[in-house]
């Protein structure tokens, strides 16, 4: 009898430990944007319009979930065609040679605080990053879909990834800041 109880306990424990849920990004309710300082006095915003993400969770609170993200560099949009073409050129992304911006990592939870920790890649340069995450909760929508929402914020130094173009103003300030602030508002949908 003890062996039977132990076997059932191990089976139940294994089910909870190894159960995985796959989530896909709802692109029509998500955005991946960035902000840079321009001429030291203002900010310019942009976004990637072609992106995808996959999240695999093993817990209801997403702690330890794996995250894979890609954005097409050629989908960059700053609402200015001339600037977008410059950003796609070798001065910045070189979208033809390096077509994707990528992230692979995990969601880490410490108390009520969430972070996204992993490898961020642009122009085939990969570096360790940590972004802050706000978990907005999980709900069932009116059509029966299970949805979860997140806001991801952080910053990277573009020059560390080979986006080296630069110019200075007459006063010596940078035309475009090295630091790029990233903000992603992501709505995930449970698969199946």
The whole domain housing 51 covers 20-190
Residue 71: CB atoms within 10 Å: 22
- For residue 5, being part of any structural domain is answered with no
**Smallest Cα–Cα separation from 185: which of 146, 139, 135, 144?**
135
pLDDT per residue as tens digits for the range 46-102: 999 999 999 999 998 999 999 999 999 999 999 999 989 999 999 889 999 999 999
- For residue 100, being part of any structural domain is answered with yes
Handedness of CA 166, 169, 173, 175 (dihedral sign): negative
- For residue 12, being part of any structural domain is answered with no
Q: At a CB cut-off of 8 Å and minimum separation 6, what does 148 contact?
A: 23, 62, 135, 136, 137, 138, 139, 187, 188, 190
pTM of structure: 0.84
CATH of the domain at 98: 2.40.128.110
pLDDT per residue as tens digits for the range 114-157: 999 999 999 999 999 999 999 999 999 999 999 999 999 999 99
- For residue 53, being part of any structural domain is answered with yes
Q: How far apart are CA 14 and CA 166, in angstroms?
A: 54
Q: What domain count does the chain have?
A: 1
- For residue 1, being part of any structural domain is answered with no
């Amino acid at each position: 009898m003890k062996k039977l109880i132990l076997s059932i306990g191990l089976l139940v424990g294994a089910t909870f430990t190894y159960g995985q849920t796959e989530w896909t990004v709802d692109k029509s309710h998500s955005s991946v944007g960035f902000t840079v300082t321009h001429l030291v006095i203002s900010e310019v915003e942009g976004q990637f319009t072609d992106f995808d993400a996959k999240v695999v969770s093993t817990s209801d609170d997403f702690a330890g979930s794996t995250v894979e993200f890609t954005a097409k560099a050629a989908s960059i949009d700053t609402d200015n065609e001339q600037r977008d073409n410059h950003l796609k050129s070798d001065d910045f992304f070189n979208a033809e040679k390096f077509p994707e911006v990528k992230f692979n990592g995990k969601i880490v939870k410490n108390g009520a605080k969430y972070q996204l920790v992993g490898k961020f890649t642009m122009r085939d340069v990969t570096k360790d990053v940590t972004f802050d995450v706000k978990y907005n909760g999980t709900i069932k929508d009116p059509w029966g879909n299970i949805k979860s929402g997140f806001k991801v914020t952080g910053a990277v130094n573009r020059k560390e990834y080979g986006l080296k173009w630069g110019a200075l103003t007459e006063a010596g300030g940078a035309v475009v800041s090295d630091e790029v602030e990233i903000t992603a508002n992501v709505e995930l949908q449970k698969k199946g």
